[in-house]
Amino acid sequence: MRTHRPNPIVSLVSRVVSPFIMMFALYVIFHGHYSPGGGFQGGTLIAAALILIRLAEGNETAQLQFPRAWATPLGSLGVLIYFGTGLAAVFMGGRFLDYSVLHLAHHATMSRSYGILLVEIGVGLAVTAILVSIFDNLLEGKPDA
Amino acid sequence: MGINTMTLSTVPLLAVLVSLLAVPLILFCSRRPNLREFWTIGAGVVKFGLVLSLLPGALAGKSVGIALLELAPGIRLALKADPFGVFFAMIASGLWIFTSFYSIGYMRGLGEHKQARYFSAFAVCLSATIGIAFSANLLTFILFYEILTIATYPLVIHKETPKAIRAGRKYLAYTLTAGLFLIAAAAVTWQITGSLDFAAGGIFKGHPLAPSTARILFFLFLGGVGVKASIMPLHSWLPTAMAAPTPVSALLHAVAVVKSGVFGVIRVVGFVFGPALMKEFGLGRILMVFAGFTIITASLLALKQDNLKRRLAYSTVGHLSYIVLGAGMLTSAALTGAMLHIAFHATMKITMFFVAGAIYVNLHKENISQLNGIGRVMPWSMGAFTVAAIGLSGLPPVNGFISKWYLGMGSMQADTLIPLFILVASGLLNAAYFFPIVHRAFFRRPAGDELAGHKEASPFMVVPLCLTATLSLAFGIYPDLFFRFFRLAAGVAGAILGGA
Amino acid sequence: MILSNSPALAPLSLLLAAIVIPMVAFRRRWLAFPIALCASAFATGISVVNLVRVLSEGVIHYHFGGWIPPIGIEYVLDPLSAFVTLVVNAVSLLVLVHAHRSVAAELPDRSMPYYAVVMLMLTGFNGIILTGDFFNLYVFLEISSLALYGMIAVGNKKSPVAAFRYLIMGTVGGSFYLLGVGFVYMTTGSLNMADIAKIAPTLYHQPALVAALGLMVVGLGIKMAIFPLHGWLPDAYTYAPSASSALIAPVGAKVGVYAIIRVIFYVFGVDFVRHSLPLTDILAWLGAIAIVYGSVLAIAQKEMKRMLAYSSVAQIGYIGLGIGLANPYGIIGAVLHVMNHALMKACLFLVAGNFRLKLGHSTIPRLDHRVRKRMPWTTAAFTVGALSMVGVPPTVGFFSKWYLALGTIQNGRWLFLAALLVSSLLNAVYFFRVLEKVYMKPLEGDVPDDGDTALAEAPGSMLIPTLVLGIALLLLGLFNAVIVTGIITRIVPPGM
Amino acid sequence: MLDFFIGHYAYWFVFILMAIGLYGMTVKCNLVKKLIGMTIFQVSIILFFVASANKWGATVPVLDHSAGSIDPTKYINPLPHTLMLTAIVVGVATLGVALALVITIYNRYQTLDETRLLEHMRKDDDSE
């Protein structure tokens, strides 16, 4: 990576494509709870967009976009959103992950639906962060524990 | 005779625990030798007192005991002081007091290291021995048997010389293997009968056994208890274990450990298999063959030992098999004789070991060929030795005669003369290997003046050994003296044969 | 609220810790350990509550998200899972207390991620034990395995290689298991264990289901390190940091054992196994071979951790033998040995950790009597652990052997009985070798008695868990009947 | 007989893949090649599950209200797919850890050849 010389075509195409990939990723995440898609797929797409920039622009520039230090806390935050949603259900008197008791909507089914959306957002965050951090770690050549 | 029918009493439990409780005290006071030894002796006296308090009940043929927690479903850690147990416990705990005094003299005389470890391991050994005596079932017996094995190990290796370490390894190899045989035997017994409680007349009463199963099981048991009883060919750890300090050899390798083995043999014969089964499958005869072979071979081997302790060890091997022989004959007189020999051999042999230790501390001599004229320097010790030698050769008026007499009578009851011949032959051999020592000690002149300036050993050692010699003599004249060994033994023999 | 969710709380609290540690302890590294400890203590407490509940109320089902199985995923608390979770969590808690100092010494700059990974491993273990769903079990299996790879890889120079080999083996195991799950799903249309347990016994002529059973047992057998599949174990335990080997060795393989018991006896059932494959016989034979093989190799080792690792192979053989006997005594022995071996191995590995901290090594030929003088308590704990491994009553080790012996006799398998007993002797050989070293002066060459004044007893945080385990070995041995009658006899699966 | 082979062709491919994977894992000396074998092995199992979910003439399992019916035979079984999603994630995580290990190993020993690695390790053992 140190011998990286920016190629204008690669750079331009990546920069153009990356936001669209992210856009699509958000679509996949936010529609995941009632159609094909979801946090895993969307998160992977976001990570792909980020890694694309890392590949095309070189690591140093890309670090400005998404510093590697963010990855661990962000990943934890993602899992925590997922976990917290489940735990909230416990505190509302239901079983773990029983979104119907969360009262996110008037109807229990809709409440479940929104609950899953929350979970998908958490999963998406976590997957993004972790994939990027795997890439960064491999790049650096040091395992993170 | 089940556990549930016996009278509840905590005395057997206390008797086991007393010396165990002394262990932390001994370790705690390891810097203050006098206080430390006070605990040992205090525990010994209390223990003996507790055991003695059980004697009247035992004489009346009653059993007291206590069932503690469950070790495994259906099997409790139970202690039961039946007459036979009280009999053995009395010997072990009584002689412990003597040995404790003697140990003080011996250990201080030699300035030995790690005395706290020594005395605490000794106390654990005694707990285990009393536990063996009072075990109400086979699993409890195994538990204490293994504890005894492990607790003896530090004593065997006490000197930490290469020889002692090798002895320790050999000792462990033999005894741990034995423990495994016993465990296997117990497991099989449990599978067949669903009970492990010792019962006079046998656990197997009412449980038909195939002849092959019975024989295999018997050999498993024999392998288990036979090592500690040092039946040949399982004996070779005992002479090697003489690398231990002499008090250890005295109490453990003449009384506690090896007698636990023969105690186990009688338990197995009388209380697990039962005389009926023994006779049915000819197991008694097997036992007698092994015992007879051991008696003669060990006596012959003893003849050619020059190291005094090794000669005593081989003599012990032979005498233990007297007891096994008695158990194998399965007649009332033979069983009585066998049990009496547990007690009487103990008093005689412990005297001899005490003397051997006294000589070692005093003159640093271990070999018989060096003992010329020693009787003039140590008249009391060698006098006691002579008494014991007379007894072990089976001559009156020492107690060895009594037990041997009953064994002989048992042989007549069993309608066979072979055991009698073996006993007579062994008596002659005993005389042949003990009296030369007496002769050397009193009637030969020492080489040069190497003995000049030496006196009798310290009173800590001489008094105990004289007392044990006196005891031997007293029991020889009146075997029922005070402790009622004779009545107890006869009662147990009756119970086994009667199957009560 | 707590009570109604109690089955899920143990893994959830551990998972929460695994998430919170990287966030909170990102800047304040010292926070990682307290969080991990709290989570572990909470999980242990919950496990106690669960065990009490199960024993009084019977089997408890916990449905995630309120979905009823077989659609939803459920956690099942029965005596077996409640008992094993308690063992795993309690032992891990003790080891974790001990780990604080050894992690600080061996992994000074990686303590934060280390604790997070430990929590993840424990989450995985709890999940494997509690789940009532085949696929869920796979996920937790892989979560715990991933954590294990990480925990092993941070050891000495050679540890990444050991971790890599374990990873390859472990992935093969996991994949075999997953393939088995696929076959089960194709045949029965369900992934819920209770559901399959109803369907499977009638389908023992179905080759796909038989193949599934075989694949699952082989897969789990790799994770459990049963005899010919144990290749990863010795290196992994030896090269891992002390804290890791002390955490993995007692409980790691046990979880695989648990899964095998669950699959064979509770899902497929004794009848199915008897009619389809000679699986139990194979397990018993492999167990017997492992017992002898592991013990013999343990004798040949110089490094204490490697010796303990090979002894683990043998001890897992005991459990495999117990499972393979497939009679009540065998199961009692196996399940009791799961607990006993966890306690014994934890105790012994903690001692090895104490040696490493204070001596800088745990090589047997380099030990001498100064160790006993300066570290009397550690040595005492080692002695108790060693006696228990040999199987001297009244330590716990004796009693699992007792039940296993009864099991072999019940099946009339004298060869297995012999293997059990012989291994006791072999254990005695390799443990008394160490005991001789630490209790006696070296025979040749005079070692100066002082000089090394730095050598002292391990600090309290390491000593107390070691001693607690040592005492537990004695007490649980004496009171094993309470556990056996109260819990384990209720575990004996139906159909025996 | 032929029917059996042709009818299950997807599974035969899966098993061929599995064999390739196992071959790579066991025979290849290079650690990265081992990893490639491992990935092939995992993927073969994923394909196995996915293949098992297939039904002829069925469509993606998204409820199509315009079709009017929710006849289960019209939809592919979605469960194996969701399961495999998880399995893929597990596989990726494993691969990530494995690659990290490989890099560490290379940094320490300057080789990824297993036989040479073992030699190095033995040397380390001797020097200890």
Boundaries of every domain in chain B: 3-498
Q: Are strands B64-72 and B7-8 parallel, antiparallel or unpaired?
A: parallel
Give every CB contact of residue C182 below 8 A, 6+ residues apart in sequence.
C212, D45, D48, D49, D52, D80
Cβ-based contacts of A138 with chain D (< 8 Å): 96, 99-100, 103
| pLDDT level of residue D62 (50, 70, 90 thresholds) | confident
CB contact under 8 A, C66 and A77: no
Closest Cα in chain D, distance from residue C167 (Å): 7
Nearest to C135 among D83, D94, D100 (CB): D83
Which residue numbers of C have CB closer than 8 Å to B's CBs?
A: 387, 390, 392-394, 398-399, 401-403, 405-406, 409-410, 417, 421, 424-425, 428, 432, 436, 439-441, 443, 478-482, 484-485, 489
- Say what the pLDDT of residue A141 is: 61
What average pLDDT does the structure give for chain C? Answer: 87
- Say what the pLDDT of residue C309 is: 92
- Say what the pLDDT of residue C385 is: 92
C175 CB within 8 Å of a chain D CB: yes
Closest Cα in chain C, distance from residue D62 (Å): 18
Q: For the segment C409-464, what is each residue's pLDDT rounded down to a tens digit?
A: 888 888 999 998 888 889 988 888 888 888 876 655 555 555 555 577 778 888 89
- Say what the pLDDT of residue D21 is: 93
Residue ranges in chain B modelled with pLDDT below 70: 1-6, 448-453, 499-500
Nearest to A95 among C64, C113, C154 (CB): C64
Chain-centroid distance of CA C43 in Å reads 17
In chain A, domain spans: 8-140
Q: Are strands C60-63 and C74-77 parallel, antiparallel or unpaired?
A: antiparallel
- Say what the pLDDT of residue A129 is: 92
Question: Above 90 in pLDDT, residue D40?
Answer: yes
Question: Above 80 in pLDDT, residue C10?
Answer: yes
Nearest to C432 among B72, B143, B172 (CB): B172
Closest C-alpha to C348, from C316, C313, C383: C383
Kindly report which listed range (B190-204, C87-101, C347-361) carries the lowest average pLDDT score.
Answer: B190-204
Q: Is A93 left (phi over 0), alpha (psi -120 to 50) or beta?
A: left
B69 CB within 8 Å of a chain C CB: yes
Across the B:C interface, residue pairs with CB atoms under 8 Å apart total 81
CB contact under 8 A, B176 and C482: no
Q: Which of B176, B192, B217, B220 to probe by mutation at the C interface, max C CB count within 10 Å?
A: B176
- Say what the pLDDT of residue A5 is: 67
- Say what the pLDDT of residue B2 is: 44
- Alpha carbons C392 and C474: distance in angstroms, whole number: 10
Report the percentage of chain C scoring pLDDT > 90. Answer: 39
D121 CB within 8 Å of a chain C CB: yes
Closest C-alpha to B77, from B20, B126, B134, B148: B134
| pLDDT level of residue A143 (50, 70, 90 thresholds) | very low
Cβ-based contacts of C23 with chain A (< 8 Å): 73, 76-77, 80
D101 CB within 8 Å of a chain C CB: yes
Question: Above 50 in pLDDT, residue A145?
Answer: no
Closest Cα in chain C, distance from residue B209 (Å): 15
- Say what the pLDDT of residue A10 is: 87
- Comparing B230 with C347, the larger pLDDT belongs to C347
Chains that touch D (3 or more CB pairs under 8 A): A, C
Across the C:D interface, residue pairs with CB atoms under 8 Å apart total 70
The answer to whether B275 and B330 have CB atoms below 8 angstroms apart is yes
The answer to whether D102 and D111 have CB atoms below 8 angstroms apart is no
The answer to whether D71 and D43 have CB atoms below 8 angstroms apart is no
Q: For the segment D84-93, what is each residue's pLDDT rounded down to a tens digit?
A: 988 998 998 8
**Nearest chain D residue to A144, by CA:** D100
Report CA torsion sign: B79, B85, B90, B93: negative
Mean pLDDT of D77-98: 89
Cβ-based contacts of A75 with chain C (< 8 Å): 22
Kindly report which listed range (A107-116, C81-90, C182-191) carries the lowest average pLDDT score.
Answer: A107-116
- Alpha carbons A27 and A24: distance in angstroms, whole number: 5
- Alpha carbons B384 and B386: distance in angstroms, whole number: 5
- Comparing A128 with B490, the larger pLDDT belongs to A128
**Chains C and D physically touch (3 or more Cβ atom pairs below 8 Å):** yes
Q: For the segment D16-33, what is each residue's pLDDT rounded down to a tens digit?
A: 999 999 999 889 889 999
C437 CB within 8 Å of a chain A CB: no
In chain C, domain spans: 281-496
D69 CB within 8 Å of a chain A CB: no
Closest Cα in chain A, distance from residue D13 (Å): 26
- Say what the pLDDT of residue C454 is: 59
DSSP-assigned letters across all residues of B320-337 = HHHHHHHHHH-SHHHHHH
- Comparing C141 with A100, the larger pLDDT belongs to C141
Domains and CATH numbers, chain D: 11-57+74-127 (1.10.287.3510)
Nearest to C481 among B71, B179, B191 (CB): B71
Cβ-based contacts of A89 with chain C (< 8 Å): 65
Q: What DSSP designation does B255 have?
A: I
CB contact under 8 A, D100 and A137: yes
**With a CB-CB cutoff of 8 Å, which residues 112-171 of chain C face chain D?**
135, 138-139, 142, 145-146, 149-150, 153, 157-158, 160-161, 163-164, 167-168, 171
Q: For the segment B255-270, what is each residue's pLDDT rounded down to a tens digit?
A: 788 888 888 988 888 8
Q: Write a three-state SS string for C322-370.
A: HHHHCCHHHHHHHHHHHHHHHHHHHHHHHHHHHHHHHHCCCEHHHCCHH
Closest Cα in chain B, distance from residue C396 (Å): 10
The answer to whether B405 and B322 have CB atoms below 8 angstroms apart is no
CB contact under 8 A, B146 and C398: yes
- Say what the pLDDT of residue B70 is: 79
Question: Above 90 in pLDDT, residue D122?
Answer: no
- Say what the pLDDT of residue C42 is: 94
